[in-house]
Amino acid sequence: MMYGPEKSDPVIVATKLANKAEQLSAERSGGEPYAAEPVERRAGTKGNAGQQSTRRTQSRVSVSQALERIRKVARERKKERFTALYHYISVDLLEEAFFQLKANAAPGVDRLTWKDYEADLERKLEDLHLRVQRGAYRALPSRRVYIPKPDGRQRPLAVAALEDKIVQRAVAALLNAIYEEDFLGFSYGFRPGRGAHDALDALCVGIHGKKVSFILDADIRSFFDEISQQWLIRFLEHRVGDRRIIRLIQKWLKAGILEDGVVSVSDRGTGQGSVISPLLANIYLHYALDLWAARWRRRTANGDMIMVRYADDFIIGFEHHIDAQLFLDEMRERLGKFALSLHPEKTRLIEFGRFAAERRKRRGLGKPETFNFLGFTLSAARPKGENSRSNGRPEGIACGRSYRRSRRACDGVCTSPSLNRGSGWGGSFAATSIITPCRPTRMHWPSSDTTSPTSGGARCGVVARRMGSRGQG
């Protein structure tokens, strides 16, 4: 109702002229226009007729098409440097980035919440877009907060301001379109469709399908705080040639951390907890570790080798002890070149695998050691109640917490979403194989409440229990 209570919008005069409306008829006096097919006046709708109800859907389509174009070029041209990415930061992309943020996330130094920003969202996003495009956008310092770690220590996090989160999410979408075509198959964590359970699944199948006799359980010390920003920018420039995108990332790196009223700025770290930090961390390790490890496997390893990396926590399996020890020594040297180091207490080399228990028993040693990965303790032992054997191999099960409800069945091949992408070692978790045969049996697990199944659904000679549960080895 536009003009008064209980009144509809007025009738709208049709703007389309009728056929022959401009043709003058000589037969009609006064030269009145003659319309062969007069057009009726149509009634207007009630309410806000000018609103575009399909805008959100159309914006999603346009953003998706733009990202797909970037993805296609990145896939087809592995050496391409993208020199024109900045104009892809549109109002539509910013809007999509805003709605991908968590509505209940902690506010940054601006104390602006998601709900507050949602009010008059269109005007605010247009203003943010203008500031970004003309270079007037300024990143605010991140607010320092601490959360408890399992070992009792405190983990420092950096909470960015809301507008910084929006722009970071938009830039991360652009960079993901490029680097998801570059990242190797054994890289998991903070990637679309490649979560913790996919990593556990890949590790299980890798140990089962390859001749793994030793496990290198590695962890990088204070990784998110020790990343060299100088090296990070150099790595980004391999694929990103748009200096405006690089300057935008540098703004976030140099914005600093606000703690106890003091802003501290460092040339190291990416601010763990920020929206774009996990992607930058994966890019850093892609060049500093992943590519080198893949090359080392092809050129140096004498036996089978598998690798699963989840952020800065990674597991590497070897057939021969000499390969494992040589890789560990050279990896320490490699990481040192990029300002990183292995955690001395969390990094260790142990005997592990399908035949580890049998070999150690023949030598008069105890049970194989266990190792922790993504909140689970994995042991090379047969679970209680499992007495059957297959081809002389001790059977086990892999357990993970997300599939307690689904109870997925194994269909004869154990794969995760990543295993069908790429080729060779770079496209899968385990050297040259992309899928590994397994017994077509339904996933099962012990009745104990301490275990739960993983995504693999295969019997893999590995028992995984949640850390801290009873019955750990």
Backbone angles phi, psi at 216, to 5 degrees: -105, 110
SS3 370: coil
- What is the C-alpha separation between 390 and 306, in angstroms, rounded? 23
Residue with tokens 């601010």: 271
- pTM value surpassing 0.85: no
In DSSP terms, 310 is beta-bridged to: 188, 313
- What is the C-alpha separation between 289 and 385, in angstroms, rounded? 41
Residue with tokens 């420092």: 156
The whole-number pLDDT of residue 364 equals 85
Contact between 272 and 157 under an 8 Å Cβ cutoff? The reply is yes
Q: What is the DSSP letter of 410?
A: P
Percent helix, strand and coil across the chain, each to the nearest 5: 35, 15, 45
R_g over Cα of the chain: 30
Burial of 268 (0-12, 13-18, 19+ CB in 10 A): middle
Helix locations, 180-309, DSSP H: 196-209, 223-226, 229-236, 243-254, 277-285, 291-299
The whole-number pLDDT of residue 183 equals 97
**What is the amino acid identity at position 465?**
R
Closest CA relative to residue 280, chosen from 355, 314, 229: 229
Q: pLDDT digit of tens for each residue in the chain (473 aa)?
A: 444 444 444 444 444 445 544 444 444 444 444 444 555 444 444 444 444 444 455 566 778 899 999 999 999 999 999 999 999 999 999 999 999 999 999 999 999 999 999 999 999 999 999 999 999 999 999 999 999 887 788 888 999 999 999 999 999 999 999 999 999 999 999 998 899 999 999 998 999 889 999 999 999 999 999 999 999 999 999 999 999 999 999 999 999 999 998 999 999 999 888 999 999 999 999 999 999 999 999 999 999 999 999 999 999 999 999 999 999 999 999 999 999 999 988 899 999 988 888 888 888 888 888 898 988 888 875 544 444 333 333 333 333 333 333 333 333 333 333 333 333 343 333 332 223 333 332 323 333 333 333 333 334 456 556 655 444 33
Edge-to-edge strands of the sheet including 142-148?
Answer: 154-159, 142-148, 257-259, 262-264
The whole-number pLDDT of residue 363 equals 87
**Terminal CA-CA length for the chain:** 73
The whole-number pLDDT of residue 287 equals 97
Contact between 371 and 315 under an 8 Å Cβ cutoff? The reply is yes
Q: What does each C-alpha distance from 377 to 373, 380, 473 come to in angstroms? A: 6, 10, 8
Closest CA relative to residue 285, chosen from 251, 319, 308, 255: 308
According to DSSP, the β-strands at 142-148 and 257-259 are parallel
Quote the Cα angle for 277-200-188, to 5°.
25
The whole-number pLDDT of residue 399 equals 38
All residues at 6 or more sequence positions from 354 whose CB lies less than 8 Å from its CB, including other chains: 207, 208, 212, 380, 393, 394, 461
The whole-number pLDDT of residue 151 equals 76
Contact between 209 and 330 under an 8 Å Cβ cutoff? The reply is no
Closest CA relative to residue 383, chosen from 291, 465, 313, 260: 465
SS3 327: helix
Q: What is the DSSP letter of 9?
A: P
The whole-number pLDDT of residue 455 equals 38
The whole-number pLDDT of residue 464 equals 59
In DSSP terms, 148 is beta-bridged to: 154
| Segment holding 73, helix H or strand E | helix 55-76
The whole-number pLDDT of residue 126 equals 96
All residues at 6 or more sequence positions from 368 whose CB lies less than 8 Å from its CB, including other chains: 350, 351, 352, 353, 356, 357, 360, 379, 380, 381, 473
- What is the C-alpha separation between 136 and 134, in angstroms, rounded? 6
Backbone angles phi, psi at 378, to 5 degrees: -105, 135
Extract the tokens encoding 331: 């990896």
- What is the C-alpha separation between 359 and 447, in angstroms, rounded? 29
All residues at 6 or more sequence positions from 248 whose CB lies less than 8 Å from its CB, including other chains: 132, 137, 167, 171
